[in-house]
Amino acid sequence: MFAIQTQLFEAKDVRFGPIDHETHPDIESRWTHDDEFMRQMELKPVRPLSPAMVKKQYEAIEKEMEEQRDLFYFTIRTREEDRFIGMASIEYVDWTNGNGFLTLGIGEPAFRRKGYGTQALNMLLRYAFGELNLFRVTAVVPAYNEGALRLFHKFGFVEEVRRRKALHRDGQFWDIIGLGLLNAEWQEQDRA
């Protein structure tokens, strides 16, 4: 459990923020042209998006957040420069059973593998369990995304489902792995 004075939307190097409709579509459009990043983030076929297409996605996200109330979407920004470097979300929230699905990605290549994802996941879990009071969260990851698997395991996620050879990429079939973490398991961990 974390103390009430713990910053909910800030970590050492990153913070969560809202969508900026003026500057973010150009940045995220660039990320959609990075097939390595997109194939780590998406299970469906990927394609490059124009800034206008990204802006429409943002509008749909905000509409769902307002109307359905089952999606919580955050931009990941550096604290020092307030630079947009990624995104994080809790989606498909099932309030009756206290379940949600997590997604997280650092789109800006220069900021990958530097601990920003770890800080963002810690904030996302604090929000899911401490603010939303969810019972459990799930992350779905392709087996080839070894970095994401290491990150989720580091936070105590347990492999619960393995859909064998369920994803086809570059002439090869890959497993899709469902990982879960319970609120009680998260609370047992050191939350320093």
How confident is the model over 143-164, as pLDDT tens digits?
999 999 999 999 999 999 999 9
Q: Does the model's pTM come out above 0.85? A: yes
Predicted confidence at residue 164, as pLDDT, reads 98
**192 has pLDDT over 50:** no
Predicted confidence at residue 184, as pLDDT, reads 96
> How many C-beta atoms surround the C-beta of residue 128 within 10 A?
23
Predicted confidence at residue 158, as pLDDT, reads 98
Six-digit token string for 110:
């220069």
Q: Which residues pair with 136 in a beta bridge?
A: 99, 182
**4 has pLDDT over 60:** no
Q: Is 9 exposed, middle or buried (0-12, 13-18, 19+ CB in 10 A)?
A: middle
Predicted confidence at residue 8, as pLDDT, reads 80
What letter does residue 111 receive in the DSSP assignment?
A: G
3-class SS at 51? helix
Q: What angle do CA 82, 186, 132 make, to 5 degrees?
A: 65
pLDDT digits (tens, 9 = 90+) for 40-75: 888 988 899 999 999 999 999 999 999 999 999 999
pLDDT bracket for residue 189 (50, 70, 90): confident
Residue 44: partners with Cβ closer than 8 Å, 6 or more residues away: none
The overall average pLDDT reported for the chain is 93
Q: Which residues pair with 172 in a beta bridge?
A: 169
Residue 184 dihedral angles phi and psi, to the nearest 5°: -65, -40
Predicted confidence at residue 171, as pLDDT, reads 92
pLDDT digits (tens, 9 = 90+) for 115-136: 999 999 999 999 999 999 999 9
Predicted confidence at residue 19, as pLDDT, reads 94
Predicted confidence at residue 2, as pLDDT, reads 52
Nearest to 101 by CA among 133, 145, 70: 70
Contact 192, 1 (CB under 8 A): no
The residue count for the chain:
192
Domain spanning 14-188: which CATH class is it, in words? alpha beta
